[in-house]
Amino acid sequence: MEIEIGRAKRARRVYAFDDVAVVPSRRTRDPEDVSVTWSIDAYQFDIPFLAAPMDSVVSPTTAIMMGQLGGLGVLDLEGVWTRYDDPEPLLAEVRSLPADRATARMQQIYSEPIKPELVTARLAEIRAGGVTVAGALSPQRTQELYKTVVEAGVDLFVIRGTTVSAEHVSKNVEPLNLKKFIYELDVPVIVGGAATYTAALHLMRTGAAGVLVGFGGGAASTTRATLGIHAPMATAVADVAGARRDYMDESGGRYVHVIADGGLGTSGDIVKAIACGADAVMLGTALARATDAPGGGLHWGTEAYHSQLPRGNRVEVGQVAPLEEILYGPAPVAEGTANLVGALRRSMATTGYSDLKEFQRVEVVVAPYHAH
Amino acid sequence: MEIEIGRAKRARRVYAFDDVAVVPSRRTRDPEDVSVTWSIDAYQFDIPFLAAPMDSVVSPTTAIMMGQLGGLGVLDLEGVWTRYDDPEPLLAEVRSLPADRATARMQQIYSEPIKPELVTARLAEIRAGGVTVAGALSPQRTQELYKTVVEAGVDLFVIRGTTVSAEHVSKNVEPLNLKKFIYELDVPVIVGGAATYTAALHLMRTGAAGVLVGFGGGAASTTRATLGIHAPMATAVADVAGARRDYMDESGGRYVHVIADGGLGTSGDIVKAIACGADAVMLGTALARATDAPGGGLHWGTEAYHSQLPRGNRVEVGQVAPLEEILYGPAPVAEGTANLVGALRRSMATTGYSDLKEFQRVEVVVAPYHAH
Amino acid sequence: MEIEIGRAKRARRVYAFDDVAVVPSRRTRDPEDVSVTWSIDAYQFDIPFLAAPMDSVVSPTTAIMMGQLGGLGVLDLEGVWTRYDDPEPLLAEVRSLPADRATARMQQIYSEPIKPELVTARLAEIRAGGVTVAGALSPQRTQELYKTVVEAGVDLFVIRGTTVSAEHVSKNVEPLNLKKFIYELDVPVIVGGAATYTAALHLMRTGAAGVLVGFGGGAASTTRATLGIHAPMATAVADVAGARRDYMDESGGRYVHVIADGGLGTSGDIVKAIACGADAVMLGTALARATDAPGGGLHWGTEAYHSQLPRGNRVEVGQVAPLEEILYGPAPVAEGTANLVGALRRSMATTGYSDLKEFQRVEVVVAPYHAH
Amino acid sequence: MEIEIGRAKRARRVYAFDDVAVVPSRRTRDPEDVSVTWSIDAYQFDIPFLAAPMDSVVSPTTAIMMGQLGGLGVLDLEGVWTRYDDPEPLLAEVRSLPADRATARMQQIYSEPIKPELVTARLAEIRAGGVTVAGALSPQRTQELYKTVVEAGVDLFVIRGTTVSAEHVSKNVEPLNLKKFIYELDVPVIVGGAATYTAALHLMRTGAAGVLVGFGGGAASTTRATLGIHAPMATAVADVAGARRDYMDESGGRYVHVIADGGLGTSGDIVKAIACGADAVMLGTALARATDAPGGGLHWGTEAYHSQLPRGNRVEVGQVAPLEEILYGPAPVAEGTANLVGALRRSMATTGYSDLKEFQRVEVVVAPYHAH
């Protein structure tokens, strides 16, 4: 439904996860009968969860843990692990910085150059853990580093930025030609963020195996205050799921995975992402709350240490439980921050669905939160 | 009105009690002339209130009090009263637990097995009080315990779970065939929660005398955060009232009672439930505020001590007045937490209606709360 | 626009003053050129403000002050001034009661019988002040006391209750036949509260000179919590203004005044009431903030001391300025609580209108408040 | 879409900047490739920012700084700089006044008469700084002072009031005939505030070079409480942009600049103003936060010291960074209060636009803020 903002502007009403909820059907199931497996390209996962490439969430160690627990950990190949031989003291420093000095010091820490040999070493370390290996670069660095990454051996290659388009225009540098790049690469590529039907459709046409929906981070509120840009996730996921359907038709059957990335703080949000059409979810905040996450109760993304225009802060997310309990429970609390897999299973069972693809058809309602 | 969430998802706008209000008609009445009586099957009640089967609300003693005051107390047959010979010390312990240890200790307390002989004894105790006898089981336990319950003698049999469907699918256990079960039982059955037209219609077709509308508890906000499931009550009640009307037509006149269960914190909410089509209401929080309620100012449901995925907390609801004053006043305060019956009468009188069935036709408006 | 709440219930979207605002036209004026005079029956007023019949707002003294300042003070003939020879000590006591004992003690104070001779004396006192004399009774007391009131001499007779209908039904007492009553009375009658088109139309048909729109008090939020009843004022006023238009047509030209009564806390609310169609406003909270108001910074209505079902509290409204400055400024603060007349003039001037009747046509927009 | 408030009133739904957001397209760009230049009449600017004529924002010194940084500083010719030879001690006093005495003392300070020779001197001082010279008068003072202003030499003449219409009606004074005035003046005129299509269209027909959209100040919330008037900025800007388009058609191609003035607290708001159709923005609060702004962390407009009806307060806005960093960064914080130009560039780049005129076509969505 188009809305008239004023005589010279029309707009569309869009929806956040907080605006919607799922409702039961006439059937119920046992949670144990529900399947939450997910596969992309040749890789199969017990659970449809990717750990986001952020230093507060994924280290080589937690990437291995995530794989062993049935999901996929994606290492940020532009974070501390590829800039420093021993990043642990720096992570400890970031965790202990007072709030008013955090941004400035993080800008320093992340100005250290990336070392290709460390990229190689970190990926090898994950490979040695016996799990699927995935690393992420920003579009700006992909050209420079992708060969190192591919030679080091990754199973899934992630290109992740705030907004990634299939058609970047630049007067100064030759931009990455995604279509050509993906075509020539042997490794399946997951790319994003994209938040609209059109942007996602063009990314799908580049040959990507998956598209990240969102703006590559959870700092939606500060992005809105700073850039005026906002794409509420319920609408974004449902729009990109529409692009998946239309692209499947135009491509004669190629299925590109839709991965919600951002705004997924609780198990309820994960449920809604899949209900709106996501195949899997990339989790930042939700996993940064693990007692064994590298952030130690804090969480930050690249936008927090942008040199000219920081659009997020290092935030306190608290510590809830070890990663395994965050994923599989038992949940010590009732806020949807632990036993994410159990909650997803129970939600699917309560509403009568038996696998994720089916669950994308669950009935959704618009029911805004009430303040009290 | 269907809303487009995004290209691949449509949704319906739904409404909570907080979204709506009733408005006067052109006529007014005296509150004394208003009838609030309710009858289901052979049982008649002065007031359309059922006390919810929760240990913080109904003990054998309060079930008798509730009956003597004109309503119906429903005992939870899976609570402390059927697990322990003398549950009073355990209730006292739950009341005194610090918040951070409450969930864990309650999980222990409620892991004690249920004793069939205690089921028999508790129901006999209520029967001896000279009131209508009602007990509740979850769908999971109904098969195992219903014979004990029926032999002990209940007037009304309540099957209550978060979401109860007429068609539960399980690969491991033979699920309860509600239709067969109710048909063979001599006792009228009230069953729920159900929150949608279709789910309720199927429950009505099982032969139930009444359907509970809601998710079997008041922890709507944590259910939403945890499972992403939410069914605002104004829409849920009005949808199930629609199912009652359609089922009455298809069955040639069988009237199944619609009982709102959840989200009824104030007398204003009770008024709105009936205005949206409910025949009666099941009260948890509203009665847990009685100074003589077993919870002693605290309130908890089964979801608070779920072993793997607690979806609610033991909450402080405060103590307002004795049960009799909660129901019949005088009200010491103006927040709609006491003199529930007087408020219902006055609301009906002010808007010009003389009995509950008529009042289901009162005009309702959509008028969201303002924060200030 | 009708909204489906659920299958068995439809509702209309209604609006509060907080939901709306007025907007300028293409013309502006000087505030000094704007007229805010109002006349009803034979009585003319410099300003369209009635002081509400509440003990915290109107005493005989403030009724005279209000008249001298160009408005109309309405004395509550069922308040302390007609129950006690010397009510000042009781008013002082109410002002000093701790919050937790206020309701109980006020219930006692207001259980003292009304003395007809005091009704006579108080009205004579106001008459002696040389201003228009107005007194208010509830519908319940009108039969019993109206002769005393009329003989004492009032210019305008106000019948004010939470909800007053032209058709009150009672099995126990012969209700007041408003139509007959007003027909036989020589004094013009203002009657309400009414909040809907139909209720107001029927009140107009009784011969009333004016209709009060609202629920006879400002405790809208507690009425909503307690009774589930709510009639947001922007819609209520616009609906009753519609009844005025239609009744003028059916009666061949009788103009019944629409007086907004409730929810008028700021000059902005007064502006919106007239913009929605009100001819005048009855002010409670706004005038209780006068340093010379009897409430001394506190404010209470009959609903605060209802014996069985109090639906409001004695509330702290603070003290802003003397009554004269509340009405005519200068305003020491910028919150719309002082210089109410100046603000009304300026708003009319800024939007280009020159009298109240014209200003009822000003453009209104729906623009909900934002929390931050 | 017209909404029925009630039977006698209809209204239009309008939108604030907080209600909307911009969304990316399928293309992205480098921020360096984006142009944010703006020109009006013969004057060209690196950035589309005007500093508002308020004593807390613009002194002769900051007007020069603003010009040197690529924007335009507009001096209030009715502020302290034209009333006092040496206003610095008075500015210092306003900054140090306790809140409860601020309004009264400011009313005194601003009652000092304006000295024409100081108008001349201040404008000469700015001219000597080598930047574009702009000064503002209220409509009330324009007749009296414009000759002084023009003779002193201004490049752009600003007439700014709360609501300025092309057709002011007064019984006492001969109002300013804007059309005649502008026609006879050699200097281009920017005039406002106007908040509706019709009011703006009439202002455009007077020959103005630019129209200020808004109510001449940021105190929207107190104006709403006091006067009931509110014109949310997203709708206001889009409506006036519609007037620009229609006037261009009727005038055979004259392009009148639309300048958003009010409600622009963050870089995100600036982005949205242009997205809704603004050519430039006039900034108050956003620049009052500069450590070198005259307000020293406080901010006030004429409405704060109105003698009879103050409709705003002297507010604390805090100090973020020097003016240069407020405009060009780096941003020490992530709230959209610094690096305004960088944020605008990045937003345009992220959404794929290369100049301001193009960016007025960016897709906008309606996405209300969520409280948590």
Do residues B284 and B58 touch, judged by C-beta distance below 8 A? no
In the numeric block, which tokens belong to residue A186? 């042997």
D217 or D357, which is more confident = D357
Q: Up-side HSE of residue B160: CA atoms within 13 Å toward CB?
A: 33
User: In angstroms, rounded to a whole number, what is the distance separating the alpha carbons of residues B305 and B285?
Assistant: 17
Give me the pLDDT at residue B220, please: 62
Closest C-alpha to D94, from D242, D368, D288: D288
Nearest CA in chain D to A200: D26
Give me the pLDDT at residue B371, please: 47
User: B234 to chain C: which residues are within 8 Å by CB?
Assistant: 5-6, 9
pLDDT confidence tier of residue C130, bands split at 50, 70 and 90: very high
Residue B65, pLDDT > 80, answer yes
b/e C272-298 (16+ beta carbons within 10 angstroms → b): bbbbbbbbbbbbbbbbbbbebbbbbbb
Give me the pLDDT at residue D220, please: 62
Question: C156: which residues sit within 8 A by CB, 6+ positions away?
Answer: C40, C41, C43, C72, C74, C132, C133, C134, C187, C188, C189, C190, C209
CB atoms within 10 A of CB D124: 14
Do residues B105 and B97 touch, judged by C-beta distance below 8 A? yes
Helix axes B88-96, B99-109, angle to 10 degrees: 150
Interface of C with B in 94-113 (CB under 8 A): 103-104
B120/A contact by beta carbon, under 8 A: no
What are the structural domains, with CATH classification, of chain B? 13-366 (3.20.20.70)
> By three-state DSSP, how is residue D147 classified?
helix
In the numeric block, which tokens belong to residue A113? 């150059």
User: D7 to chain C: which residues are within 8 Å by CB?
Assistant: 197, 238-239, 241-243, 245
pTM for this prediction? 0.94
Average pLDDT for D248-257: 97
User: In angstroms, rounded to a whole number, what is the distance separating the alpha carbons of residues C310 and C226?
Assistant: 9
What DSSP state is assigned to residue B229?
B
B39/C contact by beta carbon, under 8 A: no
Average pLDDT for C331-339: 85
Which residue is associated with the tokens 């850039």? A227
8 Å CB contact of A195 and D267: no
Who among C235, C351, C370 is closest to D6 (CB)? C235
Who among A15, A21, A371 is closest to B371 (CB)? A371
Pairing of β B298-299 and β B315-316:
antiparallel
User: In angstroms, rounded to a whole number, what is the distance separating the alpha carbons of residues D59 and D81?
Assistant: 7
User: D163 to chain C: which residues are within 8 Å by CB?
Assistant: 24, 28, 350-351
- β-partners of residue D261 are D282
Give me the pLDDT at residue B190, please: 97
User: In angstroms, rounded to a whole number, what is the distance separating the alpha carbons of residues D209 and D204?
Assistant: 8
Closest C-alpha to B232, from C29, D129, A21: A21
Instruction: State which amino acid sits at residue D190.
Output: I
> Which pairs with CB-CB distance under 8 Å and at least 24 residues apart come from A144-153?
A145/A77, A145/A114, A145/A116, A145/A119, A146/A181, A146/A185, A148/A116, A148/A119, A148/A120, A149/A77, A149/A119, A149/A123, A150/A185, A150/A186, A150/A187, A151/A120, A152/A119, A152/A120, A152/A123, A152/A124, A153/A123, A153/A124, A153/A127
> By three-state DSSP, how is residue D28 classified?
strand
Closest C-alpha to D341, from A360, A168, C342, A226: A226
Instruction: Mean pLDDT check: name the lowest of B181-185, B245-249, C44-48, C162-166.
Output: C162-166
Q: How far is CA B96 from CA B87, B296, C243, in A?
A: 14, 10, 59
Average pLDDT for A67-75: 98
Average pLDDT for A309-326: 89
Do residues C246 and C292 touch, judged by C-beta distance below 8 A? no
Q: Please, what is the end-to-end C-alpha distance for chain C in angstroms?
A: 29
Largest CA distance in chain A: 61
Q: What DSSP letter does each residue of A276-323 carry, written as one string?
A: TT-SEEEESHHHHTBTTSTTTTEE--GGGG-SS---S--EE----B-H
pLDDT in tens, B128-167: 999 999 999 999 899 999 999 999 999 999 999 888 888 8
Q: What is the mean pLDDT of chain D?
A: 92
Give me the pLDDT at residue D335, please: 84
D239/C contact by beta carbon, under 8 A: no
CA quadruple B119, B120, B125, B130: dihedral sign: positive
In the numeric block, which tokens belong to residue D296? 């020293």
Q: What is the mean pLDDT of chain C?
A: 92
pLDDT confidence tier of residue C334, bands split at 50, 70 and 90: confident
Interface of B with A in 279-338 (CB under 8 A): 303-304, 307-313
Average pLDDT for B313-327: 93
Instruction: State which amino acid sits at residue C279.
Output: D
Residue C302, pLDDT > 90, answer no
pLDDT in tens, A286-304: 999 999 999 999 999 887 7
Average pLDDT for D342-353: 95
Closest C-alpha to A97, from A154, A56, A40: A56
Q: Up-side HSE of residue D370: CA atoms within 13 Å toward CB?
A: 18
Give me the pLDDT at residue C372, please: 42
pLDDT in tens, B13-52: 999 999 999 999 889 999 999 999 999 999 999 999 999 9
Say what the ipTM of the complex is.
Answer: 0.92
Q: What DSSP letter does each residue of A128-168 carry, written as one string?
A: HTTS--EEEE-HHHHHHHHHHHHHH--SEEEEE-SS--SEE
Closest C-alpha to A210, from A162, A167, A160, A172: A160
8 Å CB contact of A33 and B303: no
User: In angstroms, rounded to a whole number, what is the distance separating the alpha carbons of residues D131 and B227?
Assistant: 61
Nearest CA in chain C to D14: C367
Closest C-alpha to A306, from D213, D332, C329: D332
C371/B contact by beta carbon, under 8 A: yes
pLDDT confidence tier of residue C166, bands split at 50, 70 and 90: confident
Residue C371, pLDDT > 70, answer no
Do residues A228 and D23 touch, judged by C-beta distance below 8 A? no
Do residues A223 and A311 touch, judged by C-beta distance below 8 A? yes
User: In angstroms, rounded to a whole number, what is the distance separating the alpha carbons of residues D73 and D92?
Assistant: 21
